[in-house]
Amino acid sequence: MLNSHTIHAPQILTIERHILEMQRKFPEATGALTGLLYDLALAGKLIASQTTRAGLVEILGKEGSVNVQGEQVMKLDRLADETIYRLNDHTGRLAIMGSEEHEDPLPIPEGYPKGKYVLLYDPLDGSSNIDYNVSIGTIFAIYRRKSATGPGTLEDCLQPGRDLVAAGYLIYGSSTMLVYSTGQGVHGFTLDPTVGEFLLSHPDIRMPQKPTYYSVNQGYENLWSEGVRQYTYYLQGKKKGFKGLSLRYIGSMVADFHRNLLTGGVYYYPAVPSQPQGKLRLLYEAVPLAFIAEQAGGYASDGRRNILDIQPESLHQRTPLFIGNRGLVEKAEEYIARYD
């Protein structure tokens, strides 16, 4: 029987219901975006079910071998890539896809209907961590197609972050989470593995005003520009007026970003002489996280301009990235303008 305690208990909201309730605010919505987001949540569950078994490679079979079920064993990043593609290639929601794993845009196969959205994704980010039981993630960006009909084109993929319809990430960590935004705040869901549902656990995430961490691969310090070095001294509290932050660096951007989103802080991956454009990819790494950061009250820059304002020129374009609390990212721009 209900009593006053149960009536005031927090609501349990599945991702499906949450996305549907968001959709209701747009009477003109056809449900295509809702379905697409829901399929990405499903892809996340399927990928998580594999990442949790990553350490069993030795006993279940190495890549290229045939496993106990008689299936060809695939590397996790290829498996994640195929999972996302195959869940979305036949739904009629997408005109084209683009993945970190493929040089060219991925067309929708002949015979399947072409839809109005474009999906760009990094199937498994932080791949250097896969073999060591460290958190990894999937990042996705969704645009409206620009071409009118027929198969989507490369131009449909080359849109500035400003035009994003939705973006988000999945993180495969101590729990699996999906964090997304359609431009109405940032919402986080945690997978309850016992029932296989993503439940709303972090409604309307805002980056705390007071930051806690800075995250950078400090091992490259001797390769940095003077601006980046001076900026790092600032973050370490070596300049007047700021007491400094703790350092945390996982080397999986999704995990580093996610932590800083919840604690406040800044993640950066600057350019170095051997990677003058930076390491990270603009379209499916920097832009979607920049959108999430901005929706949570933060900011992302390439050191000189807003990541969301960059007009991409190629699918796998790289960019330096500074992302996190607005004040901290603006400080990076200040140091870079002063010293570089």
Q: 40 exposed, middle or buried (CB, 10 Å; 0-12, 13-18, 19+)? A: buried
Of the candidates 77, 143, 73, 79, the one whose C-alpha atom is nearest the C-alpha of residue 105 is: 143
Residue 122 sits in the site that holds Mg ion (CB under 5 A): yes
Q: Which stretch binds Mg ion (CB under 5 A): 49-57, 116-124, 175-183, 237-245?
A: 116-124
Angstrom distance (rounded) from CA 220 to CA 213: 18
Angstrom distance (rounded) from CA 282 to CA 318: 5
Of the candidates 12, 15, 333, 14, the one whose C-alpha atom is nearest the C-alpha of residue 168 is: 15
- Identify which of residues 204 and 221 has a Cβ nearer to ligand AHM in the complex: 221
65 binds, among ligand AHM, Mg ion, none (CB under 5 to 8 A by kind): none
128 binds, among ligand AHM, Mg ion, none (CB under 5 to 8 A by kind): ligand AHM
Residue 125 sits in the site that holds Mg ion (CB under 5 A): yes
252 binds, among ligand AHM, Mg ion, none (CB under 5 to 8 A by kind): ligand AHM
Residue nearest to Mg ion (CB): 125
Of the candidates 35, 182, 43, the one whose C-alpha atom is nearest the C-alpha of residue 124 is: 43
| Structure token digits, residue 296 | 């949570």
CB of 235 to ligand AHM, least distance (A): 17
CB of 7 to ligand AHM, least distance (A): 44
Helix/strand/coil for 319: strand
| Structure token digits, residue 66 | 């045939």
Amino acid at 107: P
Residue 101 sits in the site that holds Mg ion (CB under 5 A): no
CB 142 within 8 Å of CB 167: yes
CB 138 within 8 Å of CB 289: no
CB of 283 to ligand AHM, least distance (A): 12
CB of 259 to ligand AHM, least distance (A): 12
- Identify which of residues 121 and 299 has a Cβ nearer to ligand AHM in the complex: 121
| Structure token digits, residue 124 | 């498994």
327 binds, among Mg ion, ligand AHM, none (CB under 5 to 8 A by kind): none
Element (H, E) at 198: strand 197-202
Binding site for ligand AHM (CB under 6 A): 122, 125-128, 217, 251-253, 256, 279
Residue 77 sits in the site that holds Mg ion (CB under 5 A): no
| CA dihedral for 235, 331, 183, 161, sign (positive or negative) | negative
Q: Which stretch binds Mg ion (CB under 5 A): 117-125, 155-163, 181-189, 319-327?
A: 117-125
Q: Which stretch binds Mg ion (CB under 5 A): 56-64, 89-97, 124-132, 242-250?
A: 124-132
- Identify which of residues 125 and 156 has a Cβ nearer to ligand AHM in the complex: 125
Maximum distance among all alpha carbons in the chain? 67
| Structure token digits, residue 192 | 């309850």
- Identify which of residues 166 and 321 has a Cβ nearer to ligand AHM in the complex: 321
CB of 172 to ligand AHM, least distance (A): 13
Binding site for Mg ion (CB under 5 A): 122, 125
